[in-house]
């Protein structure tokens, strides 16, 4: 290290003292030969976010060492040039502040002479932070460029308005404007004084410029402006303000567009018709269309991640993108009705869908075209999602829109970038094709079949195993020693290894070696080619950028390596890399192509995982609550537990009970307040060696210590939710909530990650409970899990072996006691075992996504029984079928249902569907579309368990319902009051008025029949008539008899 000769010595030069007092910038005396900082004032060190002592220690008191080698060489060249020409020195360089932000510094110096040396090789330099000024220049150029592009796309007149001088500078074609001057001083007054603006619009015109000049960031106005023929035409003005580094508005960038007489009907940004006009025209067309056999389609289109792109890249550029999207929409769907429903949603009404194949071709063309608008991963990429609803001509915009909205939402939940149809299973093939653009390549190469397995693991959200599987096979495919994925680590401000696979002879402590500081990434990425690949066969290349990185490779025995740069939102977020520890032959073109493909495949996976929020990148803090991230939580916990073997630890998973209702009732902002407040309380309550984190949403994890029993630990946990957070009178009601806990005591044989998985399983076992509750994962719980798993396996086997059958409970008319139909109830009939009822298996089936297949198995059995009954029975009665709410999460229920019905040739009137009030309570829009489709086909709809929710009457008002089911308990006077009877009678009377049939369930006492009949109930079922029976017995007792009267 150089000995600091001058920097720490007292300043004796009075001239420097004087300069210190009058200059508010960094001041240094610089040796041009060595780069030594001979003298520096305090501001210089403040600019560098460092103390004098740290500067000496870190940079050896040398300005050259503060810069990357390339910049240092440039400064030396400029110093030599300044000395040769006796000219001032002017140099810009970047540095990273202590907070990880980049600063742009400007060094301006003059050569001064030494008494000892006649050559002026010493410089007196002033250094200023010009970051804001540079951003101002960049913003100016960026806004000008973007607005110019926008001008070219939509044929506008582009202009700039200097706020201080009130001067307008105009660009573009001026031929149609009355005033052809390029520069117009005192613009607003000039225009108004010469009557170029219609008198009714003068105030709007003046207000437009006044608003922007006083700080409004963006504004539009529509005014009438006089053209060369002295005729007033409608023009649209758009203005965006540029602010200086003092946040003062200095310049307005704008466009002027002639919109003629379309202003009243067209959206002024995209020139598509507005929503109101679009809806009116679409409904008018549907109303006038008489042919029910022809189908039409409504297509909804949204740019994926529009708001985040707007936040990062600015409003002007996103408006530019929307304009391009509109232009492409007009090109591809030129013969259809086009509109803009919101700033982010475009719509196409597709007249008369003659061929779905042609429609799909146009959809694929549009999705592909949008994805190619900006396809450079080093900046950003654009994709769009499309939701399609196809209906016959006798429907309305409202129904069309709800279905298309569901299809669009389905696409976006899967990551976007493709399209989906509402209610067509064929679409699933399209979706799969779009989800996996690599599938064709994978299938065409047996060597790459492991990529297909990686996709399969990802579909099951098994992220860790999927990426390990991927890296393992990448390593084998290239015969490499090590394969890894490096991602951003915000804690240590580096790119570091997050996932890896290495051969047994590879250096073990790779995590400690592979650390790329953020500040080096910008220079390092320059080594990569246009395909984002870097094939390094000589470590000297890397050594020029970072000797430390090059040395880390040598320590690991690496002779060459390949890397692919991963991007997100235009920023490099990491690398896919493979290392070779033996000499490699020259890289072949086929290897370059395949590695590029491997990188694209991984980039695609990470992008979609981030969109679906399935991947937890190793960030240090949770952005919302500021607690440790789960990744860091586990890292710290795995250090704490082994160091304290005498302390009892427990892994705890906790979840706010029914948190969705808080978001729904109070809004997401209040929901976030609750989460932050609860996190704060958890943090305050921690003792030594304890940790807490938020995993996601309202799921929290804790590592706590305890002395005696788990019950004691739970008492402590309850205090967290019963303290001032929840019960203080000053707190709003939304801070009063219950928490469900899963607890797993740690043992020597159980690591922290596995313990938390078990704690989560324990918590999930309490689903449906209310109040503060806890479950402990112990040997008893584990035994129950084994039994539960065995039961679940038996359920799956039962589905595969068709062990689930419908049992039929008869329904009778209360007026004449005649049979009117049946309700099908699922039963599980295993060999040599007792019959099982839905309450024993239905909840587990819904948890494991088997309820859908159960319903279709029951429907198929019912249709088979009806087909038999139609051959041999004297009379056929309709069958009511209960449906699981999980059908709302699919889009092909109708198609599968019709396939079964047509296979057995069953009239649709023989099937009725019962749906619970939960459908309406949780998924109102989806339920509306679901019921509308069933009703349109001719099926009857019954609401089961009517009256369970407060919104029951709204259902009768808004939905087309045929009947309701009321439990017999609804009519029992439990409290010796007539109130219940009045309510029950009113509901029945209302249903009868609306021509909705009322069916009473679980009727057990025959003496109640008369009362129910007097109240106006229509039908009933229950043990008072008959229990549910198998088809053979139903056929024997009811269907073969001419008489169907029971009581």
Q: What percent of the chain has pLDDT over 90?
A: 13
pLDDT of residue 864: 93
CATH of the domain at 821: 3.20.20.450
Report, as an integer, the average pLDDT of 11-33.
67
- Of the pLDDT bands very low, low, confident and very high (cuts 50, 70, 90), residue 4 is very low
Predicted local distance difference test score (pLDDT) of residue 21: 56
Q: How confident is the model at residue 735 (pLDDT cuts 50, 70, 90)?
A: low
Q: Does residue 968 lie within any of the structural domains?
A: yes
526 and 551 co-located in one domain: yes
Separation CA 255–CA 323 (nearest Å): 14
Residue 453 has pLDDT above 80, yes or no: no
Closest alpha carbon to 1017 in 989, 1045, 1042, 1040: 989
Domain membership of residue 909 (yes or no) is yes
For the stretch 710-723, pLDDT in tens is 888 888 877 766 55
Maximum Cα interatomic distance, the chain, rounded to a whole number of Å = 128
Same structural domain for residues 183 and 247?
yes
Sheet containing strand 273-274, edge to edge, reads 273-274, 337-342, 345-350, 295-303, 384-392, 419-421
Residue 729 has pLDDT above 50, yes or no: no
> Which among 94, 129, 164 is the end of a domain?
129
**Which CATH number fits the domain that encloses residue 72?**
3.30.450.20
For residues 548-562, average pLDDT: 78
- Residue holding tokens 């002017």? 90
Pairing of strands 940-944, 963-967: parallel
Neighbours of 100 (CB within 10 A): 10
Do 396 and 447 lie in one domain? The reply is: no
More confident residue, 705 or 305: 705
Strand 691-696: give its sheet, edge to edge: 691-696, 699-706, 648-656, 739-745, 773-776
Q: What is the pLDDT of residue 728?
A: 40
Is residue 983 over pLDDT 50? yes
Do 683 and 770 fall within a single domain?
Answer: yes
Q: For residues 1024 and 1006, is the Cβ–Cβ distance under 8 A?
A: yes
Tens digit of each residue's pLDDT (9 = 90 or more) over 324-356: 788 888 888 888 899 988 888 999 999 888 888
**Which of these ranges, 119-128, 199-208, 1001-1010, has the smallest mean pLDDT?**
119-128
The residue from 67, 101, 129 where one domain ends is 129
Most confident stretch, 556-570, 867-881, 1031-1045: 867-881
Strand-pair category, 648-656 with 419-421: unpaired
If we measure between CA atoms, which residue out of 783, 775, 779, 782 comes closest to residue 651?
A: 775
Residues of the domain holding 538: 440-611
Taking only the tens place, the pLDDT of each residue in 609-654 is 665 543 434 446 777 888 888 878 888 898 899 989 899 999 999 9
Task: Assign 1044 a pLDDT band (cuts: 50, 70, 90).
Answer: very low
Mean pLDDT (whole number) for 548-556: 74
Number of domains in the chain: 6
Residue 8 lies in a domain: no
Residue 772 in contact with residue 655, Cβ under 8 Å? Answer: no
Same domain membership, residue 489 and residue 400:
no
The span from the CA of 450 to the CA of 446, in Å, is: 8
Which pLDDT value is given to residue 997?
A: 94
For 170-174, 368-372, 792-796, 978-982, which range has the lowest pLDDT when averaged over its residues?
170-174
- Kindly state whether residues 387 and 303 are assigned to the same domain: yes
Average pLDDT of the residues of the chain? 78
Q: In this predicted structure, which of 65-74, 94-103, 148-157 has the lowest mean pLDDT?
A: 148-157
Angle, in degrees to the nearest 10, between helices 838-847 and 851-872: 130
Q: Are residues 383 and 474 in the same domain?
A: no
Q: Is residue 422 located within the same domain as residue 491?
A: no
Same domain assignment for residues 517 and 392: no
Q: Give the pLDDT score at 721.
A: 61
Spatial separation of the C-alpha atoms in residues 943 and 914, rounded to whole Å: 6
Q: Which residue has the higher pLDDT, 248 or 57?
A: 57
For residues 936 and 833, state if they share a domain.
Answer: yes
In a domain, 269, yes or no: no
* Per-residue pLDDT, 7: 43
Residue 785 counted as domain residue: no
395 and 526 housed in the same domain: no
Contacts of range 467-474, beta carbons closer than 8 Å, 24 or more positions apart: 467/499, 467/605, 468/499, 468/501, 470/602, 470/605, 471/499, 471/500, 471/501, 472/501, 474/501, 474/576, 474/578, 474/598
Specify the pLDDT at position 956.
80
Residue 772 domain-assigned (yes or no): yes
Per residue in 985-994, pLDDT (tens digit) is 888 998 999 8
Residue 576 maps to which CATH number? 3.30.450.40
The CATH number that applies at residue 392 is 3.30.70.270
């Amino acid at each position: 290290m150089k000995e600091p000769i001058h920097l720490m010595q007292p300043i004796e030069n009075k001239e420097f003292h004087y300069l210190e007092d009058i200059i508010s910038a960094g001041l240094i005396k610089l040796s041009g030969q060595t780069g030594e900082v001979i003298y520096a004032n305090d501001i210089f060190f403040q600019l560098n976010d460092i103390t004098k002592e740290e500067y000496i220690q870190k940079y050896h008191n040398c300005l050259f060492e503060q810069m990357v080698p390339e910049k240092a060489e440039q400064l030396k060249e400029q110093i030599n040039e300044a000395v040769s020409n006796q000219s001032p020195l002017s140099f810009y360089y970047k540095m990273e502040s202590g907070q990880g932000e980049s600063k742009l510094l400007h060094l301006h110096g003059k050569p001064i002479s030494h008494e000892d040396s006649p050559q002026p090789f010493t410089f007196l330099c002033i250094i200023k932070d010009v970051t804001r000024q540079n951003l101002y220049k960049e913003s100016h150029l960026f806004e000008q460029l973007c607005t110019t592009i926008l001008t070219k796309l939509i044929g506008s007149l582009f202009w700039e308005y200097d706020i201080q001088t009130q001067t307008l500078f105009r660009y573009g074609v001026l031929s149609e404007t009355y005033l052809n001057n390029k520069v117009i001083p005192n613009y607003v007054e000039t225009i108004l004084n010469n009557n170029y603006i219609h008198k009714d619009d003068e105030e709007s015109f003046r207000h437009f410029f006044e608003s922007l000049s006083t700080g409004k960031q963006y504004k539009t106005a529509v005014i009438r402006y006089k053209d060369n023929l002295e005729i007033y035409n409608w023009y649209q003005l758009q203005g965006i303000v540029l602010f200086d580094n003092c946040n003062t508005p200095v310049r307005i960038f704008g466009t002027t567009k002639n919109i003629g007489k379309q202003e009243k009907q067209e959206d002024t940004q995209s020139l598509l018709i507005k929503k109101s006009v679009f809806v009116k025209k679409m409904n008018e067309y549907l109303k006038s269309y008489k042919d029910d056999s022809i189908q039409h389609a409504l297509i909804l289109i949204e740019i994926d991640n529009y708001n985040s792109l707007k936040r990062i890249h600015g409003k002007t550029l996103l408006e530019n993108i929307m304009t391009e999207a509109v232009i492409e929409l007009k090109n591809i769907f030129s013969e259809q009705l086009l509109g803009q429903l919101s700033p982010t949603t475009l719509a196409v009404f597709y007249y008369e869908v003659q061929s779905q194949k042609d429609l799909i071709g146009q959809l694929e063309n549009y999705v592909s075209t949008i994805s190619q608008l900006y396809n450079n991963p080093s900046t950003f990429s654009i994709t769009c999602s499309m939701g399609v609803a196809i209906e016959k001509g006798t429907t309305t915009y409202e129904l069309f829109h709800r279905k298309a909205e569901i299809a669009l939402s389905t696409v976006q939940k899967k990551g976007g970038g493709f399209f989906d149809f509402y209610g067509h299973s064929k679409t699933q093939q399209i979706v799969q094709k779009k989800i996996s653009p690599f599938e064709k390549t994978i299938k065409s190469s047996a060597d790459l079949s492991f990529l297909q397995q990686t996709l399969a693991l990802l579909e099951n959200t098994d992220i860790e195993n999927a990426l390990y599987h991927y890296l393992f096979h990448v390593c084998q495919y290239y015969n490499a020693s090590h394969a890894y994925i490096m991602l951003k680590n915000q804690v240590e401000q580096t790119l570091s290894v997050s996932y890896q696979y290495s051969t047994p002879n590879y250096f073990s402590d790779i995590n400690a070696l592979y650390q790329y500081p953020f500040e080096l990434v910008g220079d390092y990425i320059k080594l990569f080619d246009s395909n984002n690949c870097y094939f390094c066969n000589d470590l000297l290349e890397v050594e020029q950028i970072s000797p430390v990185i090059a040395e880390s490779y040598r320590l690991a025995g690496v002779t060459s390596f390949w890397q692919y740069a991963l991007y997100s939102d235009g920023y490099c977020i990491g690398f896919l890399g493979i290392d070779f520890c033996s000499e490699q032959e020259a890289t072949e073109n086929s290897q370059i192509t395949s590695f590029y493909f491997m990188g694209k495949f991984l980039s695609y996976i990470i992008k979609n995982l981030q969109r679906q929020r399935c991947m937890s990148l190793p960030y240090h803090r949770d952005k919302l609550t500021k607690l440790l991230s789960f990744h860091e939580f586990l890292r710290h916990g795995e250090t704490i537990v082994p160091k304290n073997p005498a302390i009892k630890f427990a892994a705890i998973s906790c979840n706010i009970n029914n948190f969705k209702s808080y978001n729904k009732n109070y809004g997401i902002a209040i929901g976030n307040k609750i989460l932050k407040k609860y996190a704060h309380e958890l943090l305050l309550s921690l003792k030594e060696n304890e940790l807490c984190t938020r995993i996601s949403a309202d799921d929290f994890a804790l590592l706590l210590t305890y002395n005696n029993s788990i019950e004691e630990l739970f008492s402590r946990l309850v205090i967290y939710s019963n303290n001032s957070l929840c019960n203080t009178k000053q707190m709003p009601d939304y801070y009063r909530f219950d928490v469900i806990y899963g607890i797993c005591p740690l043992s020597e044989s159980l690591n922290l990650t596995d313990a938390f998985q078990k704690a989560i399983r324990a918590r999930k076992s309490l689903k449906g409970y209310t109040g503060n509750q806890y479950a402990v994962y112990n040997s008893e719980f584990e035994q129950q899990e084994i039994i539960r798993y065995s039961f679940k396996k038996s359920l799956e086997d039962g589905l595969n072996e068709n062990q689930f059958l419908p049992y039929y409970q008869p329904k009778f008319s209360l007026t004449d006691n005649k049979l009117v139909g049946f309700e099908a109830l699922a039963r599980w009939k295993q060999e040599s075992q007792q019959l099982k009822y839905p309450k024993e298996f239905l909840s587990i089936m819904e948890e494991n996504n088997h309820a859908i297949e159960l319903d279709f198995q029951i429907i198929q059995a019912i249709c088979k029984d009806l087909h038999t009954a139609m051959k041999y029975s004297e009379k056929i009665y309709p069958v009511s079928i209960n449906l699981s709410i999980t059908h709302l999460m699919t889009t092909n229920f109708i198609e599968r249902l019709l396939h079964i019905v047509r296979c057995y040739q069953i009239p649709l009137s023989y099937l009725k569907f019962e749906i619970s009030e939960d459908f309406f309570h949780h998924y109102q829009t989806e339920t509306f579309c679901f019921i509308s489709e069933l009703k349109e086909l001719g099926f009857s709809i019954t609401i089961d368990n009517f009256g369970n929710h407060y919104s029951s009457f709204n259902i009768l008002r808004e939905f087309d319902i045929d009947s309701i089911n009321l439990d017999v308990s609804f009519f029992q006077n439990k409290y010796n009051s007539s109130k219940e009877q009045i309510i029950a009678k009113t509901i029945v009377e209302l249903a009868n008025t609306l021509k909705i049939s009322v069916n009473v369930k679980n009727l057990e006492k025959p003496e109640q029949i008369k009362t129910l009949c007097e109240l106006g109930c229509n039908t009933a079922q229950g043990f008072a008539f008959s229990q549910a029976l198998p088809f053979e017995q139903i056929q024997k007792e009811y269907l073969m008899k001419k008489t169907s009267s029971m009581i």
